[in-house]
Structures are given as structure tokens and as C-alpha cells.
């Protein structure tokens, strides 16, 4: 017994594959689902024989995987750039002390037009140039430049 793949069957198959993609990682079922939905539209619009519909499904599945997987993977996973430096935006940059800093007594520094709470292991005077070593929450760790 052979099941006739009507446009409704292709539609149900496509939606089922899209739901399967939501439940499983890998970004593969999505492309088969897209191919099934495309074939559903083609079978609905044109009188395509069943073997040709399956051929379209196969070709479209491979084409969608080859053309869209890399792009969609970036969208869903995000671009992940690994850096050797922590706090790239701050580390190694220069700032100016606005309120004196002493060990165990935070002060303030100006960096990029904003003032920040800063800590240091040595005394630093107002107006002194300092280098940012790291950032912890909203506090900069600094040292004499």
C-alpha cells in the first residue's frame, strides 16, 4: 500500500520536521522541514508526479543545507570570538586619577570621559596617569603608568 503525498501530507511532514528541530539540536531537521514545505507548495500549485516530488524534496534538502546552514548556525549560535586578554575594552588602557587611591582605600579615575571607582596596591595621587590592569564589576584595578 502506497500513501499518496498530497500537499497536506507534505505540509504536515514539514511542520513535523520543524517541530523536531526545536526539540533537537544540530540544525538539520530545519532544512528537511523547509524542503517539505517548499514541495508542499509546488505540489499544491503544479500537478507534479509523486516520484518527482520526492526528487525535489531530496534536491531541496541538500541545497538548503549547503546554502543556509553556515549562515543560520551563526545566527542561532552567535559569533563567538575568543580573546587572550580579559576585559579587552579596559585592560592596558590609560586613565587619570581624579580622587587619590591608596591600598584598601578606593579612589576614582577618569577613563573615556567617565569616572570609575578604582583600586590599587600603591598610593596614587590626583592627576597621576595610571594603567588599567583589570575590571571587576564597576571597579577598575589600576597601577602607576
Q: What is the CA radius of gyration of the chain?
A: 30
The domain spans of the chain are: 7-77, 94-144
In angstroms, rounded to a whole number, what is the distance separating the alpha carbons of residues 56 and 71?
23
pTM of the model: 0.51
The yes-or-no verdict on residue 125 having pLDDT over 90 is yes
Name the CATH topology of 94-144: OB fold (Dihydrolipoamide Acetyltransferase, E2P) (2.40.50)
Q: Counting Cβ atoms within 10 Å, is residue 57 exposed (0-12), middle (13-18) or buried (19+)?
A: buried
Least confident segment among 10-19, 20-29, 96-105, 134-143: 20-29
Tens-digit pLDDT profile for residues 66-112 = 888 777 777 666 555 544 455 468 888 999 999 999 999 999 999 98
Amino acid at each position: 500500500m502506497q500513501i499518496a503525498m498530497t500537499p497536506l501530507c507534505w505540509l504536515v511532514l514539514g511542520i513535523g520536521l520543524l517541530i523536531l528541530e526545536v526539540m533537537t539540536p544540530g540544525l538539520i531537521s530545519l532544512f528537511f522541514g523547509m524542503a517539505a514545505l517548499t514541495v508542499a507548495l509546488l505540489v499544491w500549485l503544479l500537478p507534479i508526479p509523486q516520484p518527482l516530488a520526492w526528487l525535489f524534496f531530496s534536491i531541496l534538502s541538500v541545497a538548503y543545507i549547503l546554502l543556509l546552514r553556515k549562515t543560520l548556525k551563526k545566527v542561532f549560535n552567535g559569533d563567538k570570538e575568543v580573546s587572550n586578554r580579559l576585559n579587552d575594552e579596559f585592560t592596558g588602557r590609560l586613565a587619570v586619577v581624579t580622587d587619590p587611591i591608596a591600598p584598601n582605600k578606593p579612589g576614582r579615575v577618569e577613563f573615556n570621559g567617565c569616572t570609575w571607582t578604582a583600586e590599587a596596591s600603591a598610593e596614587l595621587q590626583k592627576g597621576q596617569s595610571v594603567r588599567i590592569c583589570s575590571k571587576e564589576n564597576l571597579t577598575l584595578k589600576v597601577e602607576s603608568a
